[in-house]
Amino acid sequence: MSSADPVPVLPGPDGQSPASPAPQATKALVAFGPASVLVPPPGDTATFPALQAEIRQLARDHHAVILSHSYERPEIQDVADHVGDSLRLSRLAASAPESTIVFCGVSFMAETAKILSPDKRVLLPDLAAGCSLADSITVEQLRAWKAEHPGAVVVSYVNTTAAVKAESDYCCTSSNARAVINAIPADRQILFLPDMFLGLWLQRVTGRKLSIWLGECHVHAGIRASDVEQWHRELPAAELLIHPECGCTSQVLEAAGDDVHILSTEGMVTYAQGSSAEAFLIATETGILHRLKQMAPGKRFVPVNPEAVCQYMKLTTLEKVRDSLRLGVHEIHVPAETATLARLALERMIAIS
């Protein structure tokens, strides 16, 4: 991986579409991503109610709040106190009265919760729950990139490690990235990282020239324009909701009509609730479908790529959440100096959005 300015869309092995790892088959779930991360098969649904009751009791005993990202397994979302995107959950965690936070998500999310709640105990049920997007830039790479562009403003997507946030001027999420970019004086160079598809979309909607890191989420990069086009032909009345991390975003926008909406995960939920449409094509990780069906009952949600499954998110099982509460594992720590600097980048974002 290297810095890049300007940004090309990387060709894949077929010379047509952006590069991404090949799909990996597991015993019972199909997910994109490294073969070293094996997704546990779906549990026995008959055991879920008893496990969920045990988890709720343990949460009371340990004064814990359980948070679940919208991409987690349905049974994890159902046992959580709050479900949503990573920043919404971290802010909820900071204001919650509980002294322990169990974060059912991936490691950068648990770090963000710890940064915003330094006095609370933050637990991640499985330490292997990483993120290909956060891994696409290291703090050493960021320092080298900054050295090449002295005086540039660094804007980091929230899907980054605490160390990378600490080297950044601003954080952003997919829902407030446009506002963050617009708040930076027009004469300042902006280094945007790590998601190139989000960066390309931001260039388009803000009209700003950005220097964009060539990182990607392997799940969203695997959602192709051809997936979208096929479903659009089959369900022409459906509205299309696309996450800006998707590899198809630029191409779909070229031919976009009024029925195409580029939205964050939380934005998709809010949009579906308020729309008069009855059917929606969803271009993001498929875990969001459970939440969409719960929050907008009676509507139809179709994943444009049903194999867009993040194996890191699916590592968390009910048994691991129970054991996390029982044993106090795995506690997340962020060095104090790193946390202080990273919090500044997050607070600058919060002040804007």
Say if CB 331 and CB 123 are below 8 A apart: yes
Residue 192's contacts (CB-CB under 8 Å, 6 or more residues apart) are 155, 157, 181, 198, 199, 202, 210, 211, 212, 213
Which residues are CB-neighbours of 283 under 8 A, at least 6 positions away? Answer: 223, 227, 228, 240, 241, 242, 243, 246, 248, 303, 304, 305, 308
Query: How many C-beta atoms surround the C-beta of residue 329 within 10 A?
Result: 14
Is residue 268 near ligand SF4 by the rule CB under 6 A? no
Question: Considering only 92-100, 163-171, 305-313, 329-337, which stretch makes contact with ligand SF4 by CB under 6 A?
Answer: 305-313
- List Cβ neighbours of 146 (8 Å cut-off, separation of 6 or more): 152, 154, 167, 191
Confirm or reject binding of residue 160 to ligand SF4 (CB under 6 A).
no
Judged by CB under 6 A, the number of residues near ligand SF4 is 13
Considering the rule CB under 6 A, would residue 87 count as an interface residue with ligand SF4?
no
User: Does 310 engage in binding with ligand SF4 (CB under 6 A)?
Assistant: yes
User: With contact defined as beta carbons under 8 Å apart, do 167 and 147 qualify?
Assistant: no
Smaller CB separation from ligand SF4, 17 or 159: 159
CB of 147 to ligand SF4, least distance (A): 27
285 scored as a contact of ligand SF4 (CB under 6 A): yes
Q: Which of 17, 68, 100, 132 binds ligand SF4 (CB under 6 A)?
A: 132
Question: Among residues 251 and 264, whose Cβ is nearest to ligand SF4?
Answer: 264
| Binding window for ligand SF4 (CB under 6 A); candidates: 3-11, 296-304, 307-315, 322-330 | 307-315
For ligand SF4, the binding residue among 55, 66, 106, 214 (CB under 6 A) is 106
Q: Which is nearer to ligand SF4, 106 or 225 (CB)?
A: 106
312 interacts with ligand SF4 by CB under 6 A: yes
Which helix (H) or strand (E) is 164 found in, with range? helix 162-166
Q: Does 104 bind ligand SF4 (CB under 6 A)?
A: no
- Toward ligand SF4, which CB reaches closer, 72 or 167? 72
> 196 is written with which tokens?
């190139």
Query: Minimal CA–CA distance to 69: which of 54, 94, 90?
Result: 90
Per CB under 6 A, 167 contacts ligand SF4: no
Residue 292 amino acid letter: L
Q: Give the shortest CB-263-to-ligand SF4 separation in angstroms.
A: 15
Stretch that binds ligand SF4, among 36-44, 111-119, 200-208, 216-224 (CB under 6 A): 216-224
SS (H, E, C) 301-343: EEECCCCCCECCHHHCCHHHHHHHHHHCCCECCCCHHHHHHHH
Candidates 7-15, 131-139, 175-183, 325-333; binding stretch for ligand SF4 (CB under 6 A): 131-139
Query: Pairing between strand 30-32 and 23-25?
Result: antiparallel
Return the residue of 124, 131, 212, 296 that touches ligand SF4, per CB under 6 A.
Answer: 131
Positions in the binding site for ligand SF4 (CB under 6 A): 71, 106, 131-133, 159, 217, 219-220, 285, 310, 312-313
